[in-house]
Amino acid sequence: MSFTGFVHLQCQSEYSVKNSLIRVSKLIESVKEAGMSSVALTDDMSLFSAVKFYQKATKEGIKPIIGSKLSVTFEFGTYEVLLLCQNHKGYLNLSELISKAYLGEQGISIATINEEQLISHNEGLIMIAPLVTSDISKLFLSGKLEIAEEKAKSWESVFNSRYYMAVQRTDRPFDESLLNQTIELGLKINIPVVATNDVQFLKKEDYEAHEARICISEGGLLDDARRLKHFSKAQYLKTPSEMSELFSDFPNILKNTLELSKRCNLHFELFEKNYLPVFPTPEGKSISEFFNEESMLGLKERLKDINVNEEIY
């Protein structure tokens, strides 16, 4: 694929059932048509789309970046992070974090992890702080600038050059002010910033259908003037040229998306090899010997039920 200078790092699919309209196959088709060589899929608190996404992307020559958007609790409430898998270890850690979220006390309706869990399972993962919903952005909005800086430094020390901060221009409140604060902080403490678009649908004209889906999931009405609108018409799969024009004043944050993409190299071998489960056996016995013994014991029990003389076997 040709050099594009931009990779979408925050996209959701139909597996984010409350939000996105995007079908995985259509996402790959659109990415290929736009001339992009890679794309990340970051569904809400799930990896349900991972295998399908990986298979379809690799088949079309698109590099898949598998990740998820997770909710994290901290002293000031709850925030969101984007976690992208660098390798197989990262995939296992992300899978475990998501499992811990659903097994927590909050239950399925409010599935979250805590910061201790995130820290202890950071290996093989790249963390992106999304604009508006991250801990850094929430601290910015609360005027806690010094705490935001210390928090960013802390995450950088934990993830060790695998921590990024995201910005966006999706025509939503706070986008621009938070963008400027995020870039300023990134320059000050040397943390890379990446451009995102929080993609919820493929084309601009899909916005109304997306709003209808949101209303269904929230029990709202499209014509309710009081309904809070959390999304904008700008949250479609923009082409590299559209993103380049949108961030013409900050070209480096577009290039950073490509550099980040190069760091994510998860490869699933399960489609190339056959795997059998490892079955524990008593010490000193091979699996064949153990299975033979167990089979004979089982056979004897069943033959007793039909009154077959043991001498026969």
Tally of structural domains, the chain: 2
Give the pair of three-digit tokens for residue 75.
Answer: 């002293």
Give the pair of three-digit tokens for residue 98.
Answer: 């998501």
Scanning the structure block, which residue is given the tokens 């089979």? 295
Q: Verify that 292 and 188 share a domain, yes or no.
A: no
Average pLDDT, the chain: 90
> Cα–Cα distance between 265 and 183 in angstroms, integer?
27
> What mean pLDDT is predicted for residues 255-263?
97
Q: Verify that 289 and 257 share a domain, yes or no.
A: no
User: Which pLDDT belongs to residue 160?
Assistant: 93
* pLDDT digits 0-9 by tens, 19-77: 778 999 999 999 999 999 999 999 999 999 999 999 999 999 999 999 999 999 998 89
Q: Which residue has the higher pLDDT, 134 or 219?
A: 134
Q: Which residue has the higher pLDDT, 123 or 74?
A: 123
CB 127, CB 163: distance < 8 Å:
yes
> Cα–Cα distance between 250 and 227 in angstroms, integer?
34
Give the pair of three-digit tokens for residue 194.
Answer: 């990446």
User: Which pLDDT belongs to residue 90?
Assistant: 98
* pLDDT digits 0-9 by tens, 204-220: 998 888 777 777 777 77
DSSP 8-state symbol, 62: P
Q: Verify that 229 and 295 share a domain, yes or no.
A: no
Q: Verify that 284 and 186 share a domain, yes or no.
A: no
| 193-195/163-167 β-pairing | parallel
- Give the structural domain span for 291: 276-313
Q: Is the pLDDT of residue 123 over 70?
A: yes
Q: Verify that 222 and 294 share a domain, yes or no.
A: no
Question: Would residue 19 count as lying in a domain?
Answer: no
Indicate the pLDDT class of residue 193, thresholds 50, 70 and 90: very high
Indicate the pLDDT class of residue 2, thresholds 50, 70 and 90: very low
Give the pair of three-digit tokens for residue 193.
Answer: 């910033």
CB 165, CB 139: distance < 8 Å:
no
